[in-house]
Structure 1
Amino acid sequence: MIQFNHFNFNVLNLEKSLKFYKDTLNLEPVREKEAADGSFKLVYLGDGTSDFTLELTWLRDRTEPYNLGECEFHLAFVTDEYEKLYEQHKQQGVICYENKAMGIYFISDPDGYWIEIVPAK
């Protein structure tokens, strides 16, 4: 058997990213790992309902933004509160792309990663 476990985003400002994920998607840290020398920190965020986590990796010596290419990848969330989240994300100014024909939209995190929001069927 094989199962999904986690997905990783490298971030420049860990506190800013933690606030973003809490405020926009209600994700909370479920575990952390920090290098003994302080050179990196990993924070795994969970949704409180599934075992899947988003790993945020912070590297102490990293000062340049990450090159995300053309952002042809993304993480997706499904929600039974689509309209409520849409309005919240619109007010927060984090929506970066909408596809009304497909009934989906994307938000962008502080490092430019795209996150798809999909309504539950």
Structure 2
Amino acid sequence: MDIRVKVLFVCSHNKWRSLTAEKIFSGYEGFEVRSAGTEDAARIKLTSGHVGWADVIFAMEKKHIRRINDKFRDLLLGKQLICLDIPDDYRFMDEELIEILKGRVAEYLDITE
């Protein structure tokens, strides 16, 4: 049976950081990857469905952790909620952002392309 870890990446607007993370990590073996944003104007707005689906949630900043905890606390039991501490200084698929994401995520997940 194919066991896959469900990974959710969260930033504010789901346009640059979390969308980049979804794009680069969706090609990795053993993972299902989605992304969403915490703001009302997000490309894909974070819902209880996203949080319920995920095994591991990577938030880009502490404010995203707070928002997830405030809104979805009841759904977080047994899930890993991790802050990657990546500021909103990067554009979609920025090479520096990709390197930072790979380095930080590798601290928590066994990622091999």
Query: Do Structure 1 and Structure 2 share a fold, with TM-score over 0.5?
Result: no
How would you bin the TM-score normalised by the shorter chain?
Answer: 0.3 to 0.5
TM-score (norm 2): 0.34
Q: TM-score, normalised to structure 1's length?
A: 0.32
Q: Name the one with the larger strand percent.
A: 1
Greater RCO between the two (CA within 8 Å, min separation 6)?
2
Larger-gyration structure (1/2) = 1
